[in-house]
Structure 1
Amino acid sequence: MAQRLDKQTFQTVVTHTPLISLDLIVENADGQVLLGQRLNKPAQGYWFVPGGRVLKDETMTHAFSRLTKEELGIELQLSDATLIGPFEHFYNDNFSGDDFSTHYVVLGYRIQLDVLLNNLPKEQHGHYQWFDVTILLNADDVHRHTKLYFLTK
């Protein structure tokens, strides 16, 4: 059974190992991309794609369904998405502060989905917006790790 770690154990893990996560590159019918303004570290304050960590003993299929439910408010299946590849994200800070770095190995998945911004969960992102790709690539407040998903197209 997949489980979340207590804060101290998770700090030890983040200090010493990379994390595995899934990022959701959500595109609407107009080709715009869904970004949320992050509330938490790392990448706090930046516009970023939704996503999250894979938990220990959690299959990729279950992680994808859980993360789409938590991040988008709608449970999707892994078969609803297209893998765009593996990426690495390096941050100088971590979820609890600035005393150690965070390293993610991220699998990026593209999803075609129209969602209403007002219905999206607010735990990780305070605001949401649909972005044209050319605008997000040139915006200073869109995180560089998010931009990489569109430079590899």
Structure 2
Amino acid sequence: MSEWIPEEEWTTIVRNVPIVSVDLLVRTDGGIVLGKRTNEPAKGEWFIPGGRVYKGETRTEAVHRIATEEMGVKVEILESLGAFEHIYDTAETDGVDSKHYLANGYVVEPKSTDVRPNEQHADFQILQPESIDLHPNIAAYLKKAETIE
């Protein structure tokens, strides 16, 4: 598996192709886990953990890696929500003004309550979806989820 891509090559990729990714709708007894994004896209918004799938990595493997990297916990996959097209008008990559994801949504449940953010999120909170103005991509996942009431 290759995780590091030189910046010039990453810029070419982001400019020209959709990024295959997984997004984690993290279900807890108190609501869903949302993180305050510190980078683009969706910078400053409450969003769910997620990231790209590495070459040679299955989507399921990516779910578990991202849960560990972004939240510091192991998770159980409860439901696959399918693939979603996410096109953003912003990107963290210099010289690129948009980003396109083919995002695969999953409902997961953490095996620990010690959820802690990495550098992509300023904070994590467990929130009731109806208590905040959700990003449209998160709302689409919730609409599709059968394991979240």
Normalised by the length of structure 1, the TM-score is: 0.84
2:44 and 2:87 map into 1 onto residues whose CA distance is 16
SS in 1 for 2:142: helix
Residue number among 121, 125, 128 corresponding to 1:125 in the alignment: 121
5+ long unaligned stretches in structure 2: none
**What does residue range 1-150 of structure 1 map to in structure 2 within 5 Å?**
1-30=1-30, 32-76=31-75, 80-97=77-94, 99-113=96-110, 115-116=112-113, 119-136=115-132, 139=133, 142-150=134-142
**Number of corresponding residues:** 145
Give the Å deviation of 1:122.
2.6
1:21-46 deviations in whole A, cap 9, x for unaligned? Answer: 1000011123x011000001111001
Normalised by the length of structure 2, the TM-score is: 0.86
1:3 and 1:128 map into 2 onto residues whose CA distance is 24
CA distance 1:34–1:115, shift in 2 (3 Å) = farther
Give the Å deviation of 1:130.
1.2
Greater strand share, structure number: 2
The answer as to whether partners of 1:92 and 1:98 remain within 8 angstroms in 2 is no
5+ long unaligned stretches in structure 1: none
Greater helix share, structure number: 1
2:19 and 2:79 map into 1 onto residues whose CA distance is 21
RMSD value, Cα: 2.0
